[in-house]
Amino acid sequence: MTSLLLFGCGGGGGGGSGAGLAAVGNPMGQAGSGGQSNADQRSGGQGGSDSATGGGTPTSDGTAGNPNGGAAPVPASAALVAKLGKPSRVLVGLGATSIDDMKGQDIHADIVERYLVGVGPGSWPTWNSPDGAYVTFTAQAAQAYDAVPMFTLYQMTANGEGNLSGISDETFMVKYWGQVRLMYQRIAELGKPALVNVEPDFWGFAASQAPGRDLTKMAAAVSGQAECSTLPDTVAGLGQCFVQMGRKVAPKALIGFPPAFWNGTPLEVAAMMRAAGANQADFIVAQTSDRDAGCREAASPPPECQNGSAPFYWDASNKTSPNFHDSQKQYSDYRTALGNGLPILWWQTPMGVPSDTPGGTNQHYRDNHVDYMLTNTQEYGDMHTFGIVFSAGAGSQTSISTDGGQFARLSAQYLARGGAALK
């Protein structure tokens, strides 16, 4: 079978593009489609919360009550990690990376992420037979390597990045929802938990185009779905339908929404995302940056890095902006405003190597996210993080194949220290 690296876009909170892996053959010989985000955000309910907490009820401080009673509350991050069957520490994952390459460097990722892109002909359900088997095969491969599968659903770009004309088109949305349901069905068949990252960038574009940035006032086809028949035909209802359909079709699917901060403050964005049901999900997706800083610093950056405003390289001393503490505060503020104490998953984290020299070259651009986040991981555990997923956001970015062994070394050292505690 043919292996194809599939780079789809997804950087609502972190900028441009994301990645998935067609680890098993795409019968059409195509990797699917996805546009490039023009948004640059370098800083990065209860509902089905039982599935995230193992039966407890999340509280506003991010703990889950012990369903057996009598014991101290369990942090929601720890409860979610227990649901995943992983050790009680901040988990470390990889996307856009083949498991064979991980094995080659003795990397043991807790989470393996893949993209699901497109609607209709050539979209992800067609990449394997029977329809939707891509989810089955890639999830089974991850599980065989003792990793939790994660799927980034990125179908809304089928008509082009930021083109939301399809959401009120009944023909388009029948296909769209059919594929969402198929994803959940394939996850349900696995009989084990899987993480689902719901439509990066879409929420930012929707808020930008909604009247008054009110997602309850933007039309979308929702109520035609059996699992969502009582929900409104709005973008707010659309978000709620992702959760409601997931609960009914795949109870072991753990669902997260990625906010896009280009529409306002963390408090304002949290209000928008609550309307879309993000507080009813299982976790928050915190997008860091899907591009190495050096790619945007280069004298002649490739097309996928021609956006954003300098400076791009984060200050690891946290004295000048942009820096890591700024990013942490942004998501802490959002989490508090969203409510329900959901744990955080950092996603699409770039993989460059630190350098005092700006820029770099193709697949060797500088960045310091891996170095900082794997050596200061307890900072993230202290802010209710349950996992960090690293991945190259495009083919020109640094990966584990071009980082000189940085990720393999730092992740091994992190695990040897016993990992960061969950709070």
Element (H, E) at 66: none
Question: What is the structure's pLDDT at 66?
Answer: 52
The predicted-structure confidence for 371-405, as pLDDT tens digits, reads as follows 999 999 999 999 999 999 999 989 999 999 999 99
Rounded Cα distance, 58 and 45, in Å: 8
Count CB-CB contacts under 10 A for residue 121.
9
Decide if pLDDT at 183 tops 50: yes
Q: What share of the chain is helix, strand, coil (3-state, %, to 5)?
A: 40, 15, 45
Rounded Cα distance, 83 and 152, in Å: 19
Taking all residues of the chain, what is their mean pLDDT, rounded to a whole number? 87
Rounded Cα distance, 366 and 360, in Å: 6
Beta-strand runs (E) in 18-99: 20-22, 63-64, 74-75, 91-95
Question: What is the structure's pLDDT at 335?
Answer: 98
Q: pTM, whole model, 2 decimals?
A: 0.87
Number of domains in the chain: 1
Q: Is residue 132 situated within a structural domain? A: yes
Question: What is the structure's pLDDT at 74?
Answer: 87
Question: What is the structure's pLDDT at 83?
Answer: 98
The radius of gyration of the chain from alpha carbons, rounded to an integer in Å, stands at: 20
Decide if pLDDT at 14 tops 80: no
Q: Is residue 317 situated within a structural domain? A: yes
Domain of 397 in residue numbering reads as: 4-34+45-416
Q: Is residue 421 situated within a structural domain? A: no
Count the residues in the chain: 423
Q: Is residue 244 situated within a structural domain? A: yes
Question: With left for phi above 0 and alpha for psi between -120 and 50, is residue 255 left, alpha or beta?
Answer: beta
Q: Is residue 321 situated within a structural domain? A: yes
User: Coil, strand or helix: which one is 269?
Assistant: helix
Q: Is residue 40 situated within a structural domain? A: no
- Residue 329 sits in a domain whose CATH number is 3.20.20.80
Q: Is residue 276 situated within a structural domain? A: yes
Decide if pLDDT at 24 tops 50: no
Q: Is residue 350 situated within a structural domain? A: yes
Angle separating helix axes 266-275 and 202-209, nearest 10 degrees: 90
Q: Read out DSSP for 197-219?
A: EE-TTHHHHHHHHSGGG-GGGSB
In the predicted model, what is the mean pLDDT of residues 65-90?
Answer: 83
Question: What is the structure's pLDDT at 267?
Answer: 98
